[in-house]
Amino acid sequence: MSTPILEVRRLEKRYAASGILSRSRAGLKAVDGVSFAVEAGSTFGLVGESGCGKTTLARALLYLDPPTVGEVLFEGTPLGGLSRAGLRGFRRHMQIVFQDPNGALDPKMSVRASMGEGLANLGVPRAERERRTAAALELVGIQPAHAGRYPHEFSGGQKQRITIARALSVDPRLLVLDEPVSNLDVSIQAQIINLLLDLKSRLALTYLFISHDLNLVAYLADRIAVMYRGRIVELGSTARILDSALHPYTRRLFASVPRLTGERIAPKMEGDSEAGDSSRKGCRYAARCERGELACHSNDPELHDAGGGHLVACLLPEKNDQGG
Ligand SMILES: Nc1ncnc2c1ncn2[C@@H]1O[C@H](COP(=O)(O)OP(=O)(O)O)[C@@H](O)[C@H]1O
Ligand SMILES: [Mg+2]
């Protein structure tokens, strides 16, 4: 088997405890021992409700905010062993697009200046920066002649196109897309999704696509990891997740209701969506689980192979409805 383009091994990210609201003295484990691999050329989907640790995981695996524990390998190279300069060189291969283009684009900088920054950091000369910026804007459907304009002169969808262009301008192989359409009008979401699909095939990209919307992830991804409170609770091919989800939480995500805004949310129990609390015993989903039994409150289920590379962390996984 070929080396995965990205491999994440037992990644943990802890935030220091601060103030009287902190969950425990040990701090908050926002990501608690996550492992997965992404094959080159594929789309890997990461799904889970707000607060489960998706953005923390994305930032940690790119070493924007390094992991507390664990390893990240890009094409077999452990990022943890790299110097700052080495890491900077690697980052051009893996870029991220965030949910909110307004936060990602400096309102006081022209599109040209914003886009030139990353290229300048890589030592790309001015003329070449200009050429690459224009080419990237063209790819995402923004007129290169508008590169002198400022963020407020563009719509939300156009701004997200510009952040995608900026990510692409350094010629990455892997794009981490962290809820790239969640802040956009429903009418614009499909355009951006289609753009991403088009770019992926034209540029032979690999995607790590992050969303709270399992139906959207299932539409785009080849493989899906479902995250709950800092952990992966189910991981498998999209076909398996669609046809025979094993974890009760995955099933609940599919049943989530569309809201007027187009955002899909799962029914929520107060204060129970957040990442790991180290004082807890047993399965972190037990309090919400309709199948939960006594054992679930004392045994923390490990992610294990339920057959054919379909992983689940549940003591009482759903029986396969379809396969019999
Ligand atoms: N910088 C930070 N300091 C402390 N806690 C944080 C920080 N960023 C995120 N968190 C907490 O970590 C958990 C996961 O957050 P996040 O990764 O943003 O989740 P998601 O992207 O899935 O919505 C949440 O409980 C959040 O409050
Ligand atoms: Mg997030």
Distance CA 319, CA 316 (A): 9
Q: If you take atom 8 of ligand 1, which residue's CA is the nearest one?
A: 56
Pairing of strands 77-78, 69-74: antiparallel
Ligand 1 atom closest to the CA of 230, numbered from 1: 14
The ligand whose atoms approach the alpha carbon of 51 most closely is: 1
Q: If you take atom 14 of ligand 1, which residue's CA is the nearest one?
A: 53
The ligand whose atoms approach the alpha carbon of 48 most closely is: 1
Tell me the pLDDT of the chain (324 aa) as tens digits: 689 999 999 999 999 876 655 555 567 899 999 999 999 999 999 999 999 999 999 999 999 999 999 999 999 999 999 999 899 889 899 999 999 999 999 999 999 999 999 999 889 999 999 999 999 999 999 999 999 999 999 999 999 999 999 999 999 999 999 999 999 999 999 999 999 999 999 999 999 999 999 999 999 999 999 999 999 999 999 999 999 999 999 999 988 755 444 444 444 444 444 555 555 689 999 989 988 788 899 999 999 999 999 999 999 887 654 443
Q: If you take atom 10 of ligand 1, which residue's CA is the nearest one?
A: 30
For 170, residues 6+ apart whose C-beta sits below 8 A from its C-beta are 92, 95, 118, 119, 122
Ligand 1 site, CB within 6 A: 15, 28, 30, 48, 50-56, 274-275
**DSSP letter, residue 276:** B
Confidence (pTM): 0.92
For 89, residues 6+ apart whose C-beta sits below 8 A from its C-beta are none
What is the whole-number distance in angstroms between the Cα of residue 229 and the centre of ligand 1? 10
Q: Which three-class secondary structure string do you get for 33-49?
A: EEEEEECCCCEEEEECC
Could you write out the DSSP letters of every residue in 132-190? HHHHHHHHTT--GGGTTS-GGGS-HHHHHHHHHHHHHTT--SEEEEESTTTTS-HHHHH
**DSSP letter, residue 259:** -
